[in-house]
Amino acid sequence: MRIDIISVLPELIRSPFEASILKRAQQKGIVEVQLHNLKDFGMGKHRQVDDYSFGGNAGMVLRPEPLFECIEFLQSQRSYDAIIYTTPDGRRFDQKAANNLSLLENILVICGHYKGIDQRVRDHFVTHEISIGDYVLSGGELAAAVISDAIIRLIPGVLNDETSALTDSFQDNLLAPPVYTRPAEFRGLDVPEVLTSGHFKKIEDWNHEQALQRTKERRPDLLED
Ligand code: 6GU
């Protein structure tokens, strides 16, 4: 998979891709992530990328010219299976969306900033408008990092068996059960006996029961569909 990310502040999200699982996925050659600075396509001596919105609503909007130039340049190198725009007015991101996107080969992410991007860019290029939750971030960069992480960890070969995505919360519409490690007893606090029993089936049943219990308490909405 290849993910291209267009941003006015690429330095804001360089580090998530240079550590741990995302770094290793790139080193293994499973995924390639490229950040592109929209200012490289900015207009005039000052590399301008934004302007006041028509209609007088306060706030700056990313102009269409630099975005059209940048996107068309990237499209001349490869064709994209999805062009994502990160925006609080997008469709809310969830595990199902991550699963679907993880099957694609080439993804382009446009990070919103200020009051957003000119609507003509959205109309002309964008295939997926995604929000990561009902709150407002200063820009789409952190959302792009969140979405990329959620997608990349699902690609076969990125995680090993111990960290397998199959046991993640949400994969079966349930939250994950509680987990314990050594020691089995710590300051008088015991690990539930079933977990040290060695009975695989009993452990599996216990985990499922706990997952169900947690989901009922914390996220009953997940059990509705
Ligand atoms: Cl994708 N962008 C911004 N700026 N804020 C958000 C968001 C995205 N998702 C939730 N809040």
39-79 tens-digit pLDDT: 999 999 999 999 999 998 878 999 999 999 999 999 999 99
* Residues 18 and 28 sit within 8 Å (Cβ to Cβ): no
Report whether 146 contacts 132 (CB < 8 A).
Answer: yes
Dig out the tokens for 34 from the structure: 């490229």
Of the candidates 164, 62, 57, the one whose C-alpha atom is nearest the C-alpha of residue 113 is 62
C-alpha of residue 110 to centroid of ligand 1, in Å: 12
126 and 211 together in one domain: no
**Of 152, 182, 211, at which residue does a domain stop?**
152
Structure tokens at 6: 């267009």
Asked whether residue 131 falls in the same domain as residue 171, the answer is no
CA of 175 to the centre of ligand 1 (A): 24
Could you give the number of structural domains in the chain? 2
Residue 159 resides in a domain: no
Residue 190 domain-assigned (yes or no): yes
What atom of ligand 1 comes closest to residue 132's alpha carbon? Answer: 9
Cis peptide before 10 (omega within 30 of 0): no
Distance CA 125, CA 118 (A): 12
Residues 118 and 81 in one domain: yes
Domain ends where: 117, 152, 187?
A: 152
Expressed in angstroms and rounded, the spacing between residue 111 Cα and the centre of ligand 1 is 9
| 166 Cα distance to chain centroid | 17
Residue 57 CA to residue 102 CA, distance in Å, equals 37
> Looking at residue 136, which CATH number applies to its domain?
3.40.1280.10
Segment 162-220, tens digit of pLDDT: 667 777 878 789 999 999 999 999 999 999 999 999 999 999 999 999 999 999 999 99
Alpha carbon distance 76, 179 (integer Å) = 48
Atom of ligand 1 nearest to the CA of 138: 4
Task: Determine the distance separating the centroid of ligand 1 and the alpha carbon of 51, expressed in angstroms.
Answer: 20
For a mutational test of ligand 1's pocket, the pick from 86, 91, 115, i.e. the residue with the most ligand atoms closer than 8 A to its C-beta, is: 86
Q: Which atom of ligand 1 is nearest to the CA of 113?
A: 4
Are the beta carbons of 49 and 38 closer than 8 angstroms? yes
Do the domain assignments include residue 158?
Answer: no
Question: Could you give the 3-state DSSP secondary structure of residue 158?
Answer: coil
What span, in angstroms and rounded, lies between the C-alpha atoms of 100 and 42? 33
Boundary-marking domain end, from 126, 152, 178 = 152
Q: Are residues 127 and 208 in the same domain?
A: no
The answer to the question of residue 161 being in a domain is: no
Convert the pLDDT of each residue in 129-140 to its tens digit: 999 999 999 999
- Do 143 and 171 belong to one domain? no
Dist CA 191 CA 88 (whole Å): 42
Q: Which candidate, 96, 134, 136, places its Cα nearest to that of 112?
A: 136
Confidence of residue 115 (pLDDT cuts 50, 70, 90): confident
Nearest ligand 1 atom to the CA of 135 is: 11
What lines the ligand 1 site, CB under 6 Å?
86-88, 112, 130-133, 135-137, 139-140, 143
Q: Compute the distance from residue 112 Cα to the ligand 1 centre, in Å.
A: 8
Closest-lying ligand 1 atom to the alpha carbon of residue 134: 10
User: What is the extent of the structural domain holding 202?
Assistant: 167-224
* Same-domain status, 66 and 89: yes
